[in-house]
Amino acid sequence: MGLKGFYYLFEDKYYEILDAINEKVPIYKIIDPIDKILPSFILFVVLTLLIVGLLASVVVLPLFSQKLVATIEVLDNDNVPVNGADVTLQLVDDNSTVDNNIILVEGVTDEFGQFSVDLPKDEITVNIEIKPKELEAVNFKRVLVAGETITLKIFYGDVNPDNKEGVKEYTIKLVDSSNAPIKSSSASIYLSCYSGLDLGTKLNVTGSGIFTISVDSAKCGTLTAKADAPGYVPKTVEVKNLVEVIVLSKEPNTETKANLLVKVYKGEITAVLKDIKVTVCDSDNITCNSDFTNSVGIAEFNDLAVGYYTVTALDAENNNSKSMTFLLTSGKNEKSIELTDVPEDEKATYKISFKVKDVKGPLSNVGITLYKNSIF
């Protein structure tokens, strides 16, 4: 069947439908005058194609012509839109390198703190630079996909009129449930920013439980601190105040033995002393254990019973020692001992007297031997 055959086939079907319609509605009163000028079937086909084409242009074509829309929203810490922030979009190549020579678009945020841009490709990686007035620029790398709207929300801290860079000094205090400072030198806080800036981990070197840091609010945005200390449950908080207090709770006590770390230093906590003999004795002074400090000034004792202990650090070379007594609790314990130099004018010759006795009383003619640099 040729093209002409198909034409007559569909034309016959067309008139069969008209015959069926004409039995109820006298449609031939309209069709017959048209057929005298132009076959109504041809007119029907033309009108049908026009309607289909119109629907395609309204419904189908937009599906293939969606634009890449990126919406950047700039807010301050009070969620107030930041108007007039400069926005620059640059292409990022396959090696994640920003091509500084290809700027897709530049503009500023409106009164709602927003800036929108249409991009031509289905998927593209861009670097978005946002620079509010009187603040440093912040960069984001994002993959934009056709038909999707991506909102970048940036939080900026309040700007001190005397500090245009937005640098603030925060003080973070670590305390326990009784509001006492956590003095462990192993206590730490990990600081991170909403913008992705990693400020790293700060150690409790001073043993005060107080951390002081300076942060550029413009570069950081919302500041988060994760606090951790031996024997405590870690806790993460959003730092909202210039002086922030983080309360840590004790971990459930499931241990029956105690471990002890003794740090020996001189002058400053960071000036640790190596090869210092550390002796730990129980309250009866019967059971004693000794060890020497390692390269970081720490002597470690494990599996000790809970109770009171006396710890003595001996610097044999300088004939200097120091002792302290404390209660050893289950789990991990940390103590620090500072050894100071003995001034020459305070050095002296001492006389030592010994009394030796048994259960019946004093004993005579008992030999006594003294050893240099000994603890007794």
CATH code, domain carrying 118 = 2.60.40.1120
Residue 173 CA, chain-centre distance (Å), reads 19
Alpha-helical regions (H) of 56-141: 61-64
Residue 157: predicted pLDDT: 46
Q: Which residue bears the tokens 């107030």?
A: 80
Torsion, Cα 259 280 323 340, to 10 degrees, reads -80
| In the predicted structure, residue 39 carries a pLDDT above the cut 90 | no
Q: 76 and 8 in one domain?
A: no
Q: 171 and 150 in one domain?
A: no
Distance CA 264, CA 339 (A): 7
Domain boundary among 213, 247, 281: 247
| In the predicted structure, residue 27 carries a pLDDT above the cut 80 | yes
DSSP class per residue in 157-177: PPPBTTBTT-EEEEEEEEE-T
Residue 62 within any structural domain of the chain: no
Number of Cβ within a 10 Å radius of residue 138: 22
pLDDT in tens, 294-328: 999 999 999 888 788 899 999 888 878 889 988 88
Q: 149 and 171 in one domain?
A: no
Distance CA 248, CA 182 (A): 9
User: What CA–CA distances, in Å, run from 89 to 32, 114, 152, 340, 364?
Assistant: 64, 14, 13, 61, 96
Q: Which residue bears the tokens 């973070």?
A: 172
* Residues in contact with 230: Cβ distance below 8 Å, sequence separation at least 6, in sequence order: 184, 186, 187, 331, 332, 334
- The pLDDT of 231-248, averaged and rounded, is 89
User: Crossing angle of helices 40-55/28-37, nearest 10°?
Assistant: 100
Distance CA 337, CA 314 (A): 10
Say if residue 348 is exposed, middle or buried (CB neighbours under 10 Å; 0-12, 13-18, 19+).
exposed
Distance CA 309, CA 283 (A): 5
Distance CA 289, CA 297 (A): 17
Residue 367 within any structural domain of the chain: no
The shares of helix, strand and coil residues in the chain, as percent rounded to the nearest 5, are: 15, 45, 40
Q: 152 and 74 in one domain?
A: yes
User: What CA–CA distances, in Å, run from 172 to 185, 236, 332?
Assistant: 15, 12, 24
Domain boundary among 226, 247, 268: 247
Q: 48 and 95 in one domain?
A: no
pLDDT band of residue 154 (cuts 50, 70, 90) is low
Residue 162 within any structural domain of the chain: no
pLDDT band of residue 128 (cuts 50, 70, 90) is confident
User: What residue type is assigned to position 156 of the chain?
Assistant: Y
- The pLDDT of 46-68, averaged and rounded, is 72
Pairing of strands 167-175, 243-247: parallel
14: containing domain:
3-56
* DSSP single-letter state for residue 34: H
Mean pLDDT is lowest, of 31-35, 182-186, 233-237, 300-304, for 182-186
- The pLDDT of 65-91, averaged and rounded, is 73
Residue 297 within any structural domain of the chain: yes
Please state the domain count of the chain: 4
Q: 286 and 211 in one domain?
A: no
- The pLDDT of 178-202, averaged and rounded, is 82
Domain boundary among 132, 156, 180: 156
Residue 353 within any structural domain of the chain: no
Q: 196 and 151 in one domain?
A: no
Residue 161: predicted pLDDT: 36
Residue 79: predicted pLDDT: 65
Q: 280 and 231 in one domain?
A: no
Q: 341 and 275 in one domain?
A: yes
User: What CA–CA distances, in Å, run from 217 to 102, 156, 202, 236, 355?
Assistant: 29, 6, 18, 19, 70
Mean pLDDT is lowest, of 4-18, 52-66, 134-148, 349-363, for 52-66
Distance CA 60, CA 50 (A): 15
Q: 266 and 217 in one domain?
A: no
Number of Cβ within a 10 Å radius of residue 258: 20
- The pLDDT of 152-175, averaged and rounded, is 63
Q: What's the CATH number where 312 sits?
A: 2.60.40.10
Give the closest residue to 374 by CA, choosing from 312, 304, 310.
312
Residue 253 within any structural domain of the chain: no
Distance CA 4, CA 7 (A): 5
Residue 372 within any structural domain of the chain: no
pLDDT band of residue 134 (cuts 50, 70, 90) is low
Give the closest residue to 304 by CA, choosing from 276, 324, 322, 329.
329
Q: 152 and 72 in one domain?
A: yes
Residue 143 within any structural domain of the chain: yes
